[in-house]
Amino acid sequence: MNNSIERVIDDPQSDLFVIKPIDGKGLGMFAKCDLQCGTVIVCEKPLMKFPSYSSSILLEAIYDKLDSETKRRIQFLLASQTRKHPLVGICDTNSIPLAYDSNEKGLFYYISMVNHSCESNTFWIWFDYNNRQEMTLIADRRIKAGEELVCSYIERFHLRERRHEILQNNWLFKCQCDICERHEKDKTSDEQWASYSKDNDFILEYGSKLSQECMEAFSKSLKFVQEHYHHSLLQTFMLHFCILVPCCMLKQWQDLVKYSRTAIRLGKIIYGDDYERYLIPIKELIEAEVPMEYRTGLEKDFK
């Protein structure tokens, strides 16, 4: 493949973002205007999909089947100079896991230009059902015009050393975001950051067994998100979604209804017109467990 193509960016024709060069980083995506939390910034179909651990032979075989315009766009993406094979370099530098636990990656024209930060202001969601295969980039908080749009490529709540190890192994760079610089100097802050992930895992694993302890972990985690992670839309949704089982086990119906309403409201923002498909577990839990006298008005929340 020819990787010496002239690097002229295709105009995204978007009122929400623009692609601009950044010293030492190549290209980046920036907000054109103030973005509200939950704004869908861009939806993209992948230029190319492939298994996470693909040989150059497999990548070439997939690439060769693409049309000329798709190949041109892939060649535009900046390749890692540490790889001798140009296509491997492009995939190393620009590929995105289609989900955090996925064994498949994708290349995208605009979303692949979003740089990493452990203190991200956006997140992406891969929609894959029926005939829809799209990666959607969503604002995780309010973003000011001119601010760079950044996303965490990994599960962000690891210790700094582990985050750097994952990023180096998968994308060949070392993160130098404000969070990483702070954690390098303040090990206590680094440990508090990682403890958030442990609390989340605890709620998921022991929600039906150690319900009271999970409620305490929920309160601690929610406070962390509010004080240290800009009231993250995604993290707030996930916390309220996960705490429903402990509420049910403790028969704390008022709390369950309150947290359900928050999860439904945030789920609608995140998943848009597809929210019903993703919120089925909440609806089924309420219908199966919550006494009728506590369900007043909940039917409207699902509509």
Would you list the DSSP string of the chain? --------PPP---SSEEEEEETTTEEEEEESS-B-TT-EEEEE--SEEEESS--HHHHHHHHHTS-HHHHHHHHHSPPPTT-SSHHHHHHHHH-EESSTT-SEEEE-SSGGGPEE-SS-SEEEEEEEETTEEEEEEEESS-B-TTPEEEE-SS-S-S-HHHHHHHHHHHHS-----HHHHHHHH-HHHHHHHHHHHHHHHHHHHHTTTSHHHHHHHHHHHHHHHHHHSTT-HHHHHHHHHHTHHHHHHTT-HHHHHHHHHHHHHHHHHHHGGGHHHHSHHHHHHHHHHS-GGG-TTHHHHT-
* pLDDT value of position 79: 65
Least confidently predicted of 3-12, 27-36, 38-47, 207-216: 3-12
Tell me the whole-structure pTM to 2 decimals.
0.90
User: What's the pLDDT band for 216 if we cut at 50, 70, 90?
Assistant: very high
More confident residue, 186 or 299: 186
* pLDDT value of position 32: 96
Cα separation, 69 vs 174, whole angstroms: 32
**What are the structural domain ranges in the chain?**
17-171, 186-301
User: What's the pLDDT band for 86 if we cut at 50, 70, 90?
Assistant: confident
Tens digit of each residue's pLDDT (9 = 90 or more) over 231-261 = 999 999 999 999 999 999 999 999 999 999 9
Sign of CA dihedral 17, 23, 27, 28: negative
Position 95 pLDDT exceeds 50 = yes
Average pLDDT in the chain: 89
* pLDDT value of position 73: 92
Return contacts of 269-273, CB within 8 angstroms, 24+ apart: 269/37, 269/38, 269/233, 270/38, 270/125, 270/138, 270/233, 270/234, 270/237, 271/125, 272/40
User: What's the pLDDT band for 3 if we cut at 50, 70, 90?
Assistant: very low
Position 80 pLDDT exceeds 70 = no
Cα separation, 49 vs 67, whole angstroms: 14
Q: Quick one: three-class SS letters along 64-88?
A: HCCCHHHHHHHHHCCCCCCCCCHHH
* pLDDT value of position 131: 75
Residues 6 or more apart in contact with residue 260 via CB below 8 angstroms: 240, 244, 282, 286, 298, 301
* pLDDT value of position 82: 55
Position 121 pLDDT exceeds 70 = yes
Position 6 pLDDT exceeds 80 = no
9's tokens: 């960016």
Would you list the DSSP string of 177-194? -HHHHHHHH-HHHHHHHH
Tens digit of each residue's pLDDT (9 = 90 or more) over 28-58 = 999 999 999 999 999 999 999 999 888 999 9
Cα separation, 13 vs 21, whole angstroms: 17
Residues 6 or more apart in contact with residue 142 via CB below 8 angstroms: 34, 35, 36, 37
**Integer angstrom CA distances of residue 142 from 33, 150, 190:** 11, 13, 25
Closest to 243 in 3D by CA, of 233, 255, 254, 231 = 255
CATH class, domain 17-171, is mainly beta
Tens digit of each residue's pLDDT (9 = 90 or more) over 129-159 = 777 789 999 999 999 999 999 999 988 889 9
Position 177 pLDDT exceeds 60 = yes
- When pLDDT is averaged across residues 73-77 and rounded to a whole number, the result is 89
- When pLDDT is averaged across residues 107-114 and rounded to a whole number, the result is 95
- When pLDDT is averaged across residues 114-124 and rounded to a whole number, the result is 94
* pLDDT value of position 124: 94
* pLDDT value of position 4: 45
* pLDDT value of position 25: 74
